[in-house]
Amino acid sequence: MIIDISRKLNNQTPNWPGDTPFSYSMTWSMEESSSVNVGKITTSVHIATHVDSPFHFHSNGMKVDQLPLDVFVGDALVIDVTNKSEIRVNDLENHDIESVRRVILKTNAWLDETKFPDEIPLLDPALGKFFKENGIELLGVDLPSVDPLDSKTLDTHHALHDHGVHILEGLKLSHVEPGIYRLTALPLFIEGADGSPVRAILEPLNIGG
């Protein structure tokens, strides 16, 4: 069983305010006497479900084509933190995260896919150190960012990076139960990029963890 946890990309997909929106259009069309249909896309790499490379917020950080792919494939623990305005270490301490390398936080704070959220829960930068101590190498969230939408310092981005934790944002998790899954969320092989859209899926391993 495959559970799609990606947000749909179309011409109505909400983008980060001021960033490049997603657009798909036909370059050649069989309806206009071409032998094939060929489309083109224009988009920010930070739209819908996507990976942040460290270069996104660190001038000397790794770019998308340099990221270790094994981080984005493997066991992941989905933890339900719905209705929390702040997510801190003590919200995760009672979960067995030492058995996985990846943690996915289900906040349910971005349910309307047609609109960019006005506000999102706060993720405490202290999570970076906590994840490193427990062997976590990837954090996934159902939010457009791991930092407040108006943040200029991106403290949580930097804290995660400083502790070796990669970032997967914009997941769709409203239909996903807490538990352990096999995650696949590979970024595109875009040379020099600061991020990449992904098609993210989960395969159940042990629901209820």
pLDDT for res 205: 87
56 is an active site residue: yes
Distance CA 181, CA 184 (A): 10
Q: What share of the chain is helix, strand, coil (3-state, %, to 5)?
A: 15, 25, 55
- Catalogue the E-assigned strands of 127-190: 138-141, 166-169, 179-184
pLDDT over 90, % of the chain: 96
Residue 22 has pLDDT above 60, yes or no: yes
- Residues found in the chain: 209
Give the pLDDT band of residue 206 (cuts 50, 70, 90).
Answer: low
Dump pLDDT digits (tens) for 36-70: 999 999 999 999 999 999 999 999 999 999 999 99
Across 16-30, average pLDDT = 97
Global pTM value: 0.95
Q: Which residue has the tokens 């000397």?
A: 60
Catalytic residue of the set 46, 50, 56, 161: 56
**199 closest CA partner among 75, 48, 66, 71:** 48
